[in-house]
């Protein structure tokens, strides 16, 4: 018989954590802010740079440090609110480094007990030679928060951009995604942080990217629905043709699945403050579902809109290109699928249900 969770065994607060909703007042503010941004922004271009005007508005509202503790000058928000902010910003194709500056960079500075005294930050993990590849928004930042493994320790340093060499590059979405070379002397003086910080960084980054991709995909669904209802062929909207309906259904269902998986991981992170040993599985499921959905959503949306969706003037490419760029950050789709496969294989048939429902395999009674 398979080993299923004992119905009478009390669950920890974070087990099977029910998705929670972000603060409704915050959502109202964000919805209005990004609707206004979408309505007033200039015509999209192939090259994307930081919108400093939007960044200042977010700063004034305390949103650039939403998850920072109030004692350090942050707004004291949690992961549920942060995921909402990331998703709504991505849905508006807002070129601002919210994940890098707050959810990752600000968190690392607090973990290292380093000051966060203003300025715009991004994050990276340099290799032993001091080089970090694909550092988003590096050229726009005032400093770069670096995390690296020093033998059996993890270290963090907040390095001003004036002390690094930046080779400017761009990702698929046209955003700054640079190569950064650090002075090794700066890295040698980094602050030692708890080992769990280094382990959590990759998971936090992966979940932040999942929230961003889901937010963008939900906006893609809206764009596609608007188009197929308005565009007519042979005297009727193309949304009435069965082939188009199937296309839209695939886009919407994959997006809904990605949303459910991401919300489940966010809820688990919020309920346990990232202490749940099942976070690897939860984030892996979210990243896998989001990654597979991205292919369907991007391909299907461009099929539905045809050539118009590829023009610079249209909104669609400002959503689909970041989706493809971000789904491979903090672990590729293949990496996360292999991680899930390894977890499922290690759980075995008898413990697979427990892995699915709690995020970790319950030890066999003979192992107790």
| Tens digits of pLDDT across the chain (368 residues) | 344 444 434 345 445 566 678 989 999 999 999 999 999 888 888 899 999 999 999 999 999 999 999 888 889 999 999 999 999 999 999 999 999 999 999 999 999 999 998 899 999 999 999 999 999 999 999 999 999 998 889 999 999 999 999 999 999 999 999 999 999 887 888 999 999 999 899 999 999 999 999 999 999 999 999 999 988 788 899 888 999 999 999 999 999 999 999 999 999 999 999 999 999 999 999 999 999 999 999 999 999 999 888 898 899 999 999 999 999 999 999 999 999 999 999 988 888 888 888 888 765 454 44
Cβ-based neighbour number of residue 82 at 10 Å:
26
3-class state of residue 298 by DSSP: helix
Interatomic CA distance for residues 185 and 120, integer angstroms: 23
d(CA 271, CA 17) in angstroms, rounded, equals 7
CA separation, residue 124 to residues 25, 90, 137 (Å): 33, 21, 11
Phi, psi of 167 (to 5 degrees): -100, 110
Residue among 137, 123, 206, 211 at smallest CA distance from 169: 137
| Contact of 146 with 159, CB cutoff 8 Å | yes
pLDDT of residue 201: 97
- C-alpha span between 287 and 33 (Å, rounded): 28
Contact 103, 86 (CB under 8 A): yes
| DSSP string across 60-124 | HTT-TTTTS-GGGTS----HHHHHHHHHHHHHTT----HIIIIIIIIHHHHHTT----SS-EEEE
- For residues 366 and 349, give the distance between their C-alpha atoms in angstroms, rounded to a whole number: 16
Show me where the domains of the chain are located: 1-115+195-368
Model-level pTM?
A: 0.91
- Is there a contact between 352 and 2 (Cβ–Cβ < 8 Å)? yes
Which fold would CATH assign to domain 1-115+195-368? Butyryl-CoA Dehydrogenase, subunit A; domain 3 (1.20.140)
E strands along 197-329, which residues?
232-233, 236-237
Main-chain dihedrals φ then ψ at residue 203, nearest 5 degrees: -65, -45
DSSP three-state, residue 144: strand
CA distance from start to end of the chain = 18
User: For residues 35 and 40, what is the distance between their CA atoms, to the nearest angstrom?
Assistant: 9
């Amino acid at each position: 018989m398979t080993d299923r969770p004992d119905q009478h065994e009390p669950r920890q607060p974070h087990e099977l954590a029910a998705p929670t909703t972000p603060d409704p007042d915050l959502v109202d503010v964000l919805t209005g802010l990004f609707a206004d941004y979408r309505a007033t922004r200039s015509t999209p271009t192939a090259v994307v740079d930081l919108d400093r005007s939007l960044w200042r508005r977010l700063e004034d509202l305390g949103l650039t440090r939403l998850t920072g503790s109030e004692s350090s000058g942050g707004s004291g928000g949690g992961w549920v609110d942060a995921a909402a902010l990331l998703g709504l910003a991505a849905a508006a194709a807002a070129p601002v480094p919210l994940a890098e500056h707050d959810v990752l960079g600000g968190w690392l500075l607090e973990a290292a007990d380093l000051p966060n005294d203003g300025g715009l930050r991004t994050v990276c993990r340099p290799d032993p030679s001091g080089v970090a590849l694909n550092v988003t928004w590096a050229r726009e930042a005032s400093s770069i928060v670096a995390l690296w493994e020093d033998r059996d320790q993890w270290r963090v340093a907040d390095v001003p951009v004036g002390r690094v060499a930046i080779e400017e590059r761009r990702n698929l979405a046209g955003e700054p995604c640079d190569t950064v070379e650090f002075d090794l002397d700066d890295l040698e003086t980094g602050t030692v942080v708890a080992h769990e910080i280094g382990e959590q960084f990759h998971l936090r980054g992966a979940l932040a990217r999942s929230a961003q991709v889901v937010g963008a995909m939900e906006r893609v669904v809206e764009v596609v629905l608007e188009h197929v209802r308005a565009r007519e062929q042979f005297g009727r909207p193309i949304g009435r043709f069965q082939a188009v309906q199937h296309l839209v259904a695939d886009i919407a269902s994959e997006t809904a699945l990605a949303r459910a998986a991401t919300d489940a991981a966010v809820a688990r992170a919020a309920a346990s403050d990232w202490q749940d040993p099942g976070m690897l599985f939860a984030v892996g499921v979210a990243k896998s579902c989001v990654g597979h959905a991205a292919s369907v959503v991007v391909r299907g949306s461009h099929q539905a809109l045809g050539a118009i969706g590829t023009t610079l003037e249209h909104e669609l490419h400002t959503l689909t290109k970041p989706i493809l760029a971000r789904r491979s950050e903090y672990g590729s789709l293949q990496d996360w699928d292999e991680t899930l496969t390894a977890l499922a294989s290690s759980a075995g048939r008898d413990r697979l249900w427990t892995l699915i429902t709690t995020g970790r395999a319950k030890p066999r009674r003979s192992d107790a």
